[in-house]
Amino acid sequence: MVSLSVDDLSVQYQSQGKKVHAVDHVTFAFGDNESLGIVGESGCGKSTLGLAIMKTLQENASVSGKILFDGKSILEIPDSEFTKDVRWKQMSMIFQGAMNSLDPVFTIKKQFEEILRKHSFQGDHMDAIKSAISSVGLAHSVLDKYPHEISGGMKQRIIIAMALILRPKMVIADEPTTALDVLVQAQIMILLKKLKKDGLSIILISHDLGIISEIAEKVGIMYAGQIVEFGKMEEIYKNPKHPYTIALLDSIPKMKETKRIIPLKGNPPSLISPPSGCRFYDRCPQAMEKCKKDPPKIKTESGFVMCWLHE
Ligand code: SF4
């Protein structure tokens, strides 16, 4: 079982002489037997948040704040030690679009062997590879195939198996169903639910609140680098508080409703010079004069909401 707490985490990228505030003072926590969803539009900082937790940010990024993983302050662990003892062994990541990065000239088996070799894995390589392949519901015969000989869904299962091969306690899955057709999406979600049932903690990053609601007990709604609402999935799904969360839920098609989907107008603000007040101000149907000030963090039943409406 695993616990993760992120306290006042900020990530800035230095780009062409300007600072991009990709993640801004983000705080949340989740613990044993829980999985977490991070949801938001493209460019809201959710992937950067995952990369910061995995300590795999690019060199032009600077990080401040605290991340405690099972009580260890991971930003203080030297990179060499983190690579040796934590990354892939205790927590791993399914990177967005990773299935397209399988090497076309090597068989799947060779690519698994390379991972184990790089991590100086001491056990029996074939046993570990077969066990990882079985855990994602694939036949061992897939190991002799080249990437072009297998489907997109199988490739994504292989990427998940690669993330699991060193038996981490927690996996960060960044958009694991994007670019897959709906049937394969459903299969991948069933697989993630099974892995979770088997004891794996999952942080699922997605733009799709519907997908996140299938697996996560807790959810953070991210907008323009900030988590604007955080709490239990069920509570937020039934009773969303932040106008952005409400807009996200309104944009999900519902089978039994004939109500028109209401698209959210406008674009998020620049992360180079974000507004000093509420970042949703320009798009919010309930914006008030005082929203030009930084919104307060209001406690809810299981988390918080950043909005003057709930002062
Ligand atoms: Fe809308 Fe104001 Fe709440 Fe921001 S603080 S979401 S502008 S009501």
CATH of residue 52: 3.40.50.300
Short-list 232, 246, 216, 217, CA closest to 300: 232
> What is the average per-residue pLDDT within 5-13?
97
| Residue 256, pLDDT above cutoff 90 | no
The residue range of the domain holding 78 is 3-90+168-310
* Residue 41 near residue 88, CB atoms below 8 Å: no
How far apart, in whole angstroms, are the C-alpha atoms of residue 170 and residue 209?
A: 21
The ligand 1 atom nearest the CA atom of 228: 6
Centre of ligand 1 to C-alpha 276, Å, is: 13
The answer as to whether 95 is a domain residue is no
- Residue with CA at minimum distance from ligand 1 atom 5: 307
- The confidence score (pLDDT) of residue 87 equals 93
Maximum alpha-carbon separation in the chain: 65
- Does 64 fall in a domain? yes
Nearest ligand 1 atom to alpha carbon 310: 3
254 pLDDT above the threshold of 90: no
Q: Of 246, 283, 309, 310, which is best to mutate to test ligand 1, by the most ligand atoms within 8 angstroms of its C-beta?
A: 309
pLDDT value of residue 99: 84
Domain count, the chain: 1
pLDDT at 97: 85
Q: Is the pLDDT of residue 14 over 90?
A: yes
Nearest to 54 by CA among 142, 176, 174, 195: 174
Q: Which ligand 1 atom sits nearest the alpha carbon of residue 285? A: 1
Average pLDDT score over residue span 252-264: 70
Q: Is residue 311 predicted with pLDDT exceeding 90?
A: no
Residue 9 has pLDDT above 90, yes or no: yes
* CB of 284 shorter than 6 A to ligand 1: yes
pLDDT value, residue 144: 97
pLDDT at 182: 85
pLDDT, mean of residues 156-164: 93
The answer to the question of residue 152 being in a domain is: no
Q: Pick the residue with more confidence: 203 or 254?
A: 203
**How much of the chain exceeds pLDDT 90, in percent?**
77
Q: Does the pLDDT at position 22 exceed 70?
A: yes
For residue 304, what pLDDT is reported?
97
- Candidate of 278, 279, 293 to mutate for ligand 1, largest count of ligand atoms within 8 Å of Cβ: 278
Q: Which residue's alpha carbon is nearest to atom 3 within ligand 1?
A: 307
Q: What is the pLDDT of residue 32?
A: 73
Run of H or E residues at 152: helix 152-164
Residue 182 lies in a domain: yes
Mean pLDDT over 207-226 rounds to 93
15 lies in some domain: yes
Report the chain's mean pLDDT, rounded to a whole number. 92
Pairwise CA distance, residues 28 & 5, whole Å: 6
Centre of ligand 1 from the C-alpha of residue 174, in Å: 28
Name which residue leads in pLDDT, 98 or 109.
109
Q: Return the residue whose CA atom lies nearest to atom 8 of ligand 1.
A: 287
Q: What is residue 52's predicted lDDT score, i.e. its pLDDT? A: 97
Is the CB of residue 224 below 6 angstroms from any atom belonging to ligand 1?
no
What pLDDT, on a 0 to 100 scale, did the predictor assign at position 105? 96
* Ligand 1 pocket check for 129: Cβ under 6 Å: no
Centre of ligand 1 from the C-alpha of residue 291, in Å: 6
Question: Does 287 reside within a domain?
Answer: yes
Residue 283 Cα to ligand 1 midpoint, Å, equals: 9
Cβ distance 261 to 251 under 8 Å?
A: yes
150 lines ligand 1 (CB under 6 A): no
Name the percent of the chain lying above pLDDT 70: 97
Whole-structure pTM value:
0.92
Q: Does the residue 209 lie in any domain?
A: yes
Condensed to tens digits (0 to 9), the pLDDT of residues 181-204 reads 888 888 889 989 999 998 899 999
Answer whether 198's CB lies under 8 Å from 168's CB: no
Residue 162 lies in a domain: no
Q: Is 295 in the pocket of ligand 1 (CB under 6 A)?
A: yes
254 vs 221, higher pLDDT: 221
Higher pLDDT, 178 or 141: 141
Residue 126 has pLDDT above 90, yes or no: yes
Two structure tokens written together for 185: 């999406």
Q: What is the pLDDT of residue 1?
A: 67
Task: State yes or no: pLDDT of 255 exceeds 70.
Answer: no
The residue among 34 and 47 whose pLDDT is bigger is: 47
pLDDT given at position 113: 96
